[in-house]
A and B are shown apart, each in its own frame.
Chain A
Amino acid sequence: MLPLLIGLVFAAVMQLVVKPNIGDYPAKLVLDIGIAISLAVSLTMVNGFTGQFSMGHAGFLAVGGYAAGIVTYYGSQRIWGDRATHGGILSGRPLAIDPATLPLVGHGDWLFLAALVVGGLVAALLGFLVGLPSLRLKGDYLAIVTLGFGEIVRVMIQQTNATLKPQDIAWEEVYPALPRPAGVEAVASYAFDVIDPATKLGRTVYQAVSDTPAWDVLTHVGGSLGFTGIPKYTSLFWVYIVASITIFAAFRLKQSTFGRAFLSIREDEVAAEAMGVNTTRYKVWAFVISAFFAGVAGGLFAHTLGVGLSAETAGFLKSFDIIIMVVLGGLGSISGAVIAAVVVTVLPEALRDIPQYRLIIYALALILIMIFRPKGLLGTHEIWDRAVWKRVRRRGGSEPGKAKGGSSP
């Protein structure tokens, strides 16, 4: 519990003390870093701990983002009749409100928290559905299937409908059969396009926002135009509390018997099975847990100012970014993933003036890493492990972490 408390304080300090003192642009960068950390550490749970190479992590990111977006976009509309943020100081103060009267945590923050959890759960469910069949595959096959999964999510998002925006529609149009109450002129309603079964022609019907059940809005997330208008709750506080929880969960996992089962699968799947580890089950669990945190990070991403949530969020390029972080940091190293998340997020900003070289420098950095540190910056170790420092000190000597077992004749 103590580490979580520290995380809470750290996140609050980031929002209340650090943010006001560093300016908007660095603050946005720090926020991106925090989300990247959550993504990299969550992918580490699959690719690093169990050694399964998943390449569709952005699929979970996008699904979590869309699910969370639906909760706040349509939930906000239903509760407050608008899509503004209703958060407190911790989720960034809305300019219009007098700071003195603003609470630390607003009602909107609870909605946002619920949205993050929903995003995580939906992604986790998908992780289960994807994991179950595909984790019977190994190596390249798994990589290809998970890559395909990300693309499927991308295409499916493109097929969704436009976002529903409420309009004020005359009472008679919405409720033709009901007498109009005195003083009511119009009703806030969503417009739905339906096909009339009799005439086979399309027409628009209006349904009051308060009458629209949740499942009717599920597919209205913007299609190829992207999901716009999501209230922007994401703040440094939220980002770093999620990052802290993700890191904490990863460490607990790594040290628990449960997580040891993950690691044993990475080390030697047959031996793990021979020790009584139900490898298929644990691989699916790894996928589910990892997808959950990716989904939560997706929720953060969706509610970030200046971010356009679109089908491309699920695309291969985004997955690739996260994989680079995990591979760069060392498959299985949590601190390595964190460091790499910082580097990979800051690097493009540092190269802002020469964007055309970004991918080249990426590729070059990767090749260099693979040549000089084939196991990533930290290998499977953490930054404070003695083995890491011994290796740094004795460069060129034998690498203790590198020796593989069973090498006798």
Chain B
Amino acid sequence: MLEVRDVSVSYGAIKALHGVSLTVEQGQIVTLIGCNGAGKSTTLRAISGLVKPSAGSIHFEGKPVSRMPPHEIVRLGVVQAPEGRGIFSNMTVRENIDLGAFTRSDKHAIAADREKAMELFPRLRERISQNAGTLSGGEQQMLAIARALMARPRLLLLDEPSLGLAPQIVQTIFKIIRELNAPPPRGAGTTILLVEQNAHMALNIAHHAYVLEVGAITMQGPAAQLAASDEVRKAYLGGR
């Protein structure tokens, strides 16, 4: 579904990615783990078109997207809940959620999806007309995910959804990620590319995993296999 091939990205003189390749198959949860500054967010930004790769190519369902502007990539169904959430803080929760559906015009389906998002995050329903800036960190994260879902993503990019959240809320968020990915009767069957610091939980729910170190992929494989490998356990799972 998504093919990232030899992608390099530079911020001025700083080279953040040198030749990153990864593949996401339809229906999977793929996780990308790595230390701070490894280039995880940069990879997602490149996929979303928010930064332009200096080399390499990105294909979504066979279509080259590395030269498309971000708003067109969203229309293809690649939607990101960005790092630090990027919610619109001076707007209400409701307005934020509706902006998630900006690319759509089917009013009834939007209303139905809004209802679904509220069922997923009952907390948001209670806060529906509150300014998004006044939500707690966890609530903002829920809002960011709900907003991304409103675009009906075919590929959902999540950048550290558990960042700074209490363990209990992290559990909830991961449960929702798994539900979203579950095939139709139970979930939406959404394909997910998940960037996480919390490698333990990420490897737990993912099908496939990539390890990114200073701008390059150093390891990849089925998530369970990576979780069992010595290097990963030492570097990302706290040893033992």
Contacts and interface: CB of A to CB of B under 8 A. Distances in A.
B90 A380 contact: yes
Nearest to B136: A408
A257 interface: yes
A264 to B, nearest CB: 5
B99 interface: yes
Contact of B50 (A270, A277, A278): A270
A407 to B, nearest CB: 8
Contacts of B75: 276
A404 B84 CA distance: 12
A147 interface: no
B74 interface: yes
Contact of B131 (A272, A277, A400, A407): A400
Given A267-B90, A267-B91, A260 B99 contact: yes
Interface string A239-261: 00000000000000000010011
A387 B84 CA distance: 25
Interface string B160-196: 0001110000000000000000000000000000000
Nearest to A332: B90
Contacts of A409: 164
Interface in A56-85: none
Interface string A342-356: 000000000000000
Contacts of A270: 50, 82, 86
Contacts of A264: 88, 91, 99, 102
B85 A405 contact: yes
Given A273-B50, A275-B151, A405 B132 contact: yes
B57 interface: no
- The interface size bin for chain A is 20 to 34
B133 A404 contact: yes
Nearest to A375: B90
Interface in A294-339: 332
Given A268-B88, A408-B163, A260 B95 contact: yes
Contacts of A267: 88-91
A147 to B, nearest CB: 27
A97 interface: no
B134 A400 contact: yes
Contact of B89 (A273, A276, A404): A404
Given A260-B98, A263-B91, A408-B137, 18 more contacts: A257-B102, A264-B88, A264-B91, A264-B102, A267-B88, A267-B91, A268-B88, A270-B50, A270-B82, A273-B70, A274-B79, A275-B99, A275-B102, A276-B70, A276-B102, A401-B133, A404-B133, A408-B163
Interface of A: 257, 260-261, 263-264, 266-268, 270-279, 332, 380, 387, 400-401, 403-409
18 contacts: A263-B88, A263-B90, A263-B91, A264-B88, A264-B91, A266-B90, A267-B90, A267-B91, A273-B69, A274-B48, A274-B79, A275-B100, A276-B103, A332-B90, A380-B90, A401-B131, A403-B134, A405-B87
Interface of B: 48, 50, 69-71, 74-75, 79-80, 82, 84-91, 95, 98-100, 102-103, 131-135, 137, 140, 147, 151, 163-165
Question: Which 10 pairs between the two chains have the least Cβ-Cβ distance?
Answer: A271-B86, A276-B74, A408-B164, A267-B88, A408-B137, A276-B103, A405-B89, A273-B70, A406-B84, A278-B71
